[in-house]
Structure 1
Amino acid sequence: MSAGSNKAFHTIRNELLRTNSLFVDPDFPPEGRSLTFSGEQPFRNAKLKWMRPIDIVSKPRFFVDGATRFDLTQGQLGNCWFVAGAAIIVIKHRKYFVKIVPDDQGFGQNYAGIFHFNFWWYGRWKEVIIDDYLPTDGYRLVYGHNRTQQDEFWTALLEKAYAKLHGCYEAIDGGKLQDALVDLTGGISEVIDLEDKSKVSKSLYDILWKSFHMQTMMGCSINRPKGATSSEVEKSNGLYMGHAYSVTSLAVVPYLGQTVQLVRLRNPWGSGEWNGPWSDKSYEMQSLTPEIKKKLNIVIVEDGEFWISFEDLLSNFSEIQLCHIQPDAHTAEIAADEEKDQWEVIVYHDSWTRGITAGGCGNAPYQKLYWKNPQFQVVLTEPEDERSGKSTMMVSLMEKEKNRMGDIAIGFDIYKVRNPQDKPLGPDDNYTRYDLSRQAQSGKYQFYREVCRRFELPLGTYVIIPSTFDPNEEANFLLRIFTLKHIDSSVIDENNIPDPSVSVRTDVLADLFSKHSRTNQKLDAKELRSFLTELASLELKAHLDLSKEGCRSLIMMQDKNKTGFIDVEEARELWKDVKSFTSVFRQFDADKTGSIDTFELGNMFRKLGFPIERSVLTTLVRRYGGRDNTISLDDFIICMSKLVLMFHIFDDHLKISGSSENSAVFTRNEFLKYTLMC
């Protein structure tokens, strides 16, 4: 039996139990498309077989003696980052684990081949329902599993649910550990770069120690060497390059009259350990007293877990990944060593849209496009203490990746505005260098899914501008703003109610109208086209050849009686609008190509008295922009004609229905009629 995933887990399971059926997930079926983007088999020499746990072992179990980090073993999928992240959750955050892996399921009397898990997915917890078909080689699991307890299946099912969340198993073949931790908790990610050892803080271990004891989750990884042909490359000391490890503990132990800072790591393979100083069988470890060994929980067994000195970790690893459950645990906050109150968080979901808001970082020659990026205003009114007069703000920018393809570099700037004007910042428009100053940045643009920084800023009004490095890179994003004091915040957008009237001077055109109209002295779309072409040539000394669809749109805009024709007075008003639309278009068509960049649409509409919101702009660009982000004069006139008509229709219905300023009531037939009319 299959069931739509829009139903709740327990509802589906009850239906399955009633009909004595087993669940087959219609959204993530046991087929090739759930394995890879192409739908093909992932291995050349072996064909995977989908099997349920009840067909793999005689008595499958969801948990065997509860869940531990040793239950998680990476299979033939490059998702060490996810396995390592899940292992950290099992160790440090049982309350999250219970939320992620509900215990109301298993292979007992309520078994129906259906399971569910929860992930924090860009701002909210999302339930993922799956069936229990798992990829095997015909005998055993080929992806995540429990190496020692092969009848335990929670790890394999959790991995499948995470693969479904991303689209297929291939989508989680490669990733970043901190991203997995965020998806499992909703925390704030941070990356500490260890490549340049000279820039590593001397107090880093102390900062990590405090963060760790504030429930921060940690991992570390070694970059793969350039030119490597395999995804992981083993070093002579037992560590693997291109691989992620969980940080499972920190400890400081006495040794030879001094103290040594240690870090315990776990390889998600469940094997493959460090063989240098402080490894399981090393001289250093053997020299410790039984009491200290017991405290460190030393187990001499090949389980993938080992101790390493912090000094050796710094010399071997490329970065440390962190996920902070609370903003106070952010390393910059820890370094401040202050008592903090409860943080407030404001969340925005937005996007960079090609031709509308994907303005890039402002590098030449695209400086003006930078100001097209989404903008968010924050007003800091309360200091944390009167002495500093400053307020702490943490900003997190997260790209909503598609198929885990994090190939866009992201970052953000923060500007202080002396004279706020409730309109988007621009390169000229009333914002001089005396009114606007950049106060802070996220740092260099990163190919991370999330970039986050902490700031201490003077009170005032600020504008946060998130952007991609290059213009016209499309992506959705999540912006989170954490503060210790209540703040006012908003999206800066064009939200004024437009006045569709256009005031231009009147011209005599009766003779031409009579020439092109028939005996009834009215123009249809075909006649209007020839009329406008000749009128433009005579009055504007310019060529104007609109399409038939463009002329239809103009007629519908001016045809007050909705007859499909216009009379001479309507033609006179129509000509005013055409001249106004054309004039503005040519102002922005500086290179005389006959088309303009869609980034300019917002300014063009404002100039014509139509400051429209970004969502409407996005729709127009999607409909008319094409691959090259340009719009022709003909399409621009169609857009303007439809907008004017739609505003008139809306305003008329406001008067009829007596509705509020932002809503009007339409019957179904009215909606269909007006939609076809526009």
Structure 2
Amino acid sequence: MLKTYLTNIHRPKRLSEIDWENNLTVVNRITISFSNLIDQIFKLLSALQTYLLIHFFEAKSERDDHKIMADLQTGDYDLNHGLQDHDEIDAKIEEIVSSGEKFTDEEFDIADDDNAGDEHARVPDQTDDFSFIGDGHEACDIAQGGLGDCWFLSALSSLAQDLPEDAPLRVKDIAVQRVLQPEFNNSEEAREAGIFKFKFFRLGEWIDVIIDDDLPTRKRARPSDTGEWWVPLVEKAYAKFSGSYEKIQGGNTCWALQELSGGITVELKNLSKGNAQQAAENAAARGISLFKVFYHIQNRALICTSNLGDGGNDVITNGLVHGHAYSLLRIDYVMKNDGETVKLVKIRNPWAQTEWTGEWSDHCPNWEEVSDEEKERIDFAVEDDGGFYMNFEDWIGEFEMFTICMLPRLDPDDEEVASDDEARARDRRVIGTFVPGESSPVDVQELQSSFNEPSMHVQAQLKVDPLYGKPTRFVWIQFLLDSKLKESRYIMFNLYEADDDTPEDQKLSKREIRSLKKVNPILPGGQDGYVIDYYRHNGFMFSLDAPKRYIIVGTTATPEASEEPCKFMIRTVGPQMELAHLE
């Protein structure tokens, strides 16, 4: 009623459009009567009052007009969209195992042309020496075969790499056990029934994927040298999870790292020797050592790196394959016999062969200056297994893309692993569903023009308290969508610093959003201003003042017009923070 009434009021011009000169000429006319002057002033004041009244109600009406997402919710680790009934999966496995028959997966046609075609067979028909995991999983078990999924296998290598015995944080161990489910998959009943179970992370929950043991004979990863088949089996499960083997032919390590670990991934891309050196110098100017940053997080994060040189996998320069993904296995200081310390990184090619031939490669004379004890400490060996060392500067200079996945039970400023209960409480989430045309743009063209419209995005409020008394802290935030691998989708995700005048616990108007200071992420870099990015389980790392309140604004759209709803989750992991949706 109020809105209808206001639209019938004579609308004054904007302040900038009022003919002030014509109205104020009366002041300059000596002949004008004092009463006429007063009359003109009252008319102007009346117009100004009406103008302010109209715009007050416009702002209120704009906020009242917000379409509220019916399923908006705020919670912790246990909050999700309920994509799967896990009790139903467990019952299905029990039924298959107790039937005494070999399991055939009717949900995933291995003979489809997008999978193996005619080139497939059950594992017992491909080998007489079969085990799931025999002497323990490790990165060197992973060897890429006839499928172009180096991006997935390099991420798997990062997860499977053994931690040093003195590593205080065992989060990687927990993550890989969750994915591989070795207790069930190593059992005799699983082997006899030909059924295997794995878990992958999607939209905030762990999804069970069941497969049979009918594998491609050519288009798959190779078993380990000791007859372990866990790699080709988990590869098949990931192909089913993603839609087909063809779907995982080429991909992005962001997808694999996030879906294998449930962590928050950020991507540094388009690096070159020049800007990598500049980045190192900029960090040094702020008292930050890039090497120390990577060294500090290596046991609490997964790191993959890619060489994006032209020409594809057929081009190899200094032993590095162009257009290829590698896993980072280790970062360490190595002591030479003369007491000098060098900074080295250990990289692995998922081909399990073809290695770096530059400085500190397997056959480099530099190793003659390192004692046998030091070589043993860092697990150095001259083997054609795809693993190799190189110095830190060469690594930064030779690779153009780095993907860092912070594991979910950790905060980058926190020194301790949280308990299970505390870890669940730290994982703060907002979920809902975008409906194109109602609560999100219908396509990327509309996204460009309407991303700040409150009816076209979700808003959340983030309250950040100090950690260890520091006035600033790193905060990781993730924007997840119900979008599968190679489904094209774009996002707009922005963070604003609230001020004293910013309303609390309610969705802001377009005008209120525009009045706030936008905060750009540290990672990924180059996101100054407003950026439309393609979706890839996008994560962001911010350096935020504390205590402080922030407003998150996120939305998504497809390249072409679509009416298909899209579930989403905004997620942050860490202590001393509160996240809540606004409506």
Assess same fold via TM > 0.5. yes
2:488, 2:558 within 8 Å by CA — same for their partners in 1? no
Q: How does 1:60-459 map to 2 (within 5 A)?
A: 60-91=130-161, 92=163, 93-102=172-181, 103-106=183-186, 108=188, 111-136=192-217, 141-149=218-226, 151-193=227-269, 194-195=271-272, 196-197=275-276, 198-200=278-280, 201-202=283-284, 203-213=289-299, 215-225=300-310, 228=311, 230=312, 232-255=313-336, 258-326=340-408, 330=412, 333=413, 344-359=426-441, 366=449, 370-378=453-461, 380=463, 382-384=465-467, 388=471, 393-405=475-487, 408=490, 410-416=492-498, 418-420=501-503, 423-428=506-511, 431=512, 436-442=515-521, 443=527, 444-447=531-534, 448-457=536-545, 459=547
2:492, 2:533 within 8 Å by CA — same for their partners in 1? yes
RMSD: 3.5
1:245, 1:267 within 8 Å by CA — same for their partners in 2? yes
1:250, 1:262 within 8 Å by CA — same for their partners in 2? yes
1:408, 1:468 within 8 Å by CA — same for their partners in 2? yes
Please report how far the alpha carbon of residue 482 of structure 1 lies from its aligned counterpart in structure 2 after TM superposition: 3.6
Question: Equivalent residue of 2:580, what SS?
Answer: strand
Encode CA deviations 1:306-352: one digit per residue, 9 max, x unaligned.
0010011111001221111157554xx59xx9999977232123444
- The residue type paired with residue 272 of structure 1 is T
Please report how far the alpha carbon of residue 369 of structure 1 lies from its aligned counterpart in structure 2 after TM superposition: 5.9
Runs of 4+ residues over 6 Å off in structure 1: 4-7, 337-343, 360-365, 469-474
Q: Which has the larger radius of gyration?
A: 1
Residue 467 of structure 1 corresponds to which residue in structure 2?
Answer: 555
CA distance in 2, matches of 1:338, 1:362: 45
Please report how far the alpha carbon of residue 454 of structure 1 lies from its aligned counterpart in structure 2 after TM superposition: 2.1
CA distance in 2, matches of 1:157, 1:488: 38
CA distance in 1, matches of 2:208, 2:215: 19
- The residue type paired with residue 348 of structure 1 is V
CA distance in 1, matches of 2:487, 2:502: 40
- The residue type paired with residue 123 of structure 1 is G
Please report how far the alpha carbon of residue 461 of structure 1 lies from its aligned counterpart in structure 2 after TM superposition: 4.9
1:353, 1:472 within 8 Å by CA — same for their partners in 2? no
CA distance in 1, matches of 2:135, 2:186: 13
Residue 58 of structure 1 corresponds to which residue in structure 2?
Answer: 128
Please report how far the alpha carbon of residue 392 of structure 1 lies from its aligned counterpart in structure 2 after TM superposition: 6.4
- The residue type paired with residue 131 of structure 1 is D
Structure 1: gaps spanning 5 or more residues: 36-40, 42-46, 493-678
Quick one: structure 1 residues 407 and 257, their matched pair in 2 at CA, closer, same or farther if it must change by over 3 Å?
farther
Please report how far the alpha carbon of residue 99 of structure 1 lies from its aligned counterpart in structure 2 after TM superposition: 1.6
Q: How does 1:489-504 map to 2 (within 5 A)?
A: 489-492=580-583
Please report how far the alpha carbon of residue 167 of structure 1 lies from its aligned counterpart in structure 2 after TM superposition: 0.9
Quick one: structure 1 residues 487 and 145, their matched pair in 2 at CA, closer, same or farther if it must change by over 3 Å?
same
Quick one: structure 1 residues 186 and 6, their matched pair in 2 at CA, closer, same or farther if it must change by over 3 Å?
closer
Quick one: structure 1 residues 236 and 361, their matched pair in 2 at CA, closer, same or farther if it must change by over 3 Å?
closer
Question: Equivalent residue of 2:184, what SS?
Answer: coil
CA distance in 2, matches of 1:470, 1:405: 9
Q: Which moved more, 1:181-190 or 1:237-246?
A: 181-190
CA distance in 1, matches of 2:477, 2:376: 42
- The residue type paired with residue 113 of structure 1 is G
For these two proteins, the number of residue pairs brought into alignment is 460
Percent identity over paired residues: 23
CA distance in 1, matches of 2:107, 2:118: 19
Quick one: structure 1 residues 423 and 471, their matched pair in 2 at CA, closer, same or farther if it must change by over 3 Å?
farther
Question: Equivalent residue of 1:366, what SS?
Answer: helix
Encode CA deviations 1:108-139: one digit per residue, 9 max, x unaligned.
35511211011122201111111111111xxx
Please report how far the alpha carbon of residue 240 of structure 1 lies from its aligned counterpart in structure 2 after TM superposition: 1.1
Question: Equivalent residue of 2:188, what SS?
Answer: coil
Quick one: structure 1 residues 116 and 482, their matched pair in 2 at CA, closer, same or farther if it must change by over 3 Å?
closer
CA distance in 1, matches of 2:373, 2:473: 47
Residue 647 of structure 1 corresponds to which residue in structure 2?
Answer: none
Q: How does 1:495-534 map to 2 (within 5 A)?
A: none
Please report how far the alpha carbon of residue 488 of structure 1 lies from its aligned counterpart in structure 2 after TM superposition: 5.7
Structure 2: gaps spanning 5 or more residues: 1-83, 164-171, 522-526
2:97, 2:189 within 8 Å by CA — same for their partners in 1? no
Please report how far the alpha carbon of residue 363 of structure 1 lies from its aligned counterpart in structure 2 after TM superposition: 9.6
- The residue type paired with residue 477 of structure 1 is F
Q: TM-score, normalised by structure 1?
A: 0.61
Residue 20 of structure 1 corresponds to which residue in structure 2?
Answer: 100
- The residue type paired with residue 265 of structure 1 is I
Quick one: structure 1 residues 339 and 216, their matched pair in 2 at CA, closer, same or farther if it must change by over 3 Å?
closer
Q: Which moved more, 1:95-104 or 1:79-88?
A: 95-104
Quick one: structure 1 residues 412 and 470, their matched pair in 2 at CA, closer, same or farther if it must change by over 3 Å?
farther
Residue 112 of structure 2 corresponds to which residue in structure 1?
Answer: 32
Higher relative contact order (CA 8 A, sep 6+): 2
CA distance in 2, matches of 1:408, 1:422: 28
Q: TM-score, normalised by structure 2?
A: 0.70
Quick one: structure 1 residues 237 and 404, their matched pair in 2 at CA, closer, same or farther if it must change by over 3 Å?
same
CA distance in 2, matches of 1:272, 1:279: 11
Encode CA deviations 1:341-400: one digit per residue, 9 max, x unaligned.
977232123444432233489999825764333222326385557784x78643222344
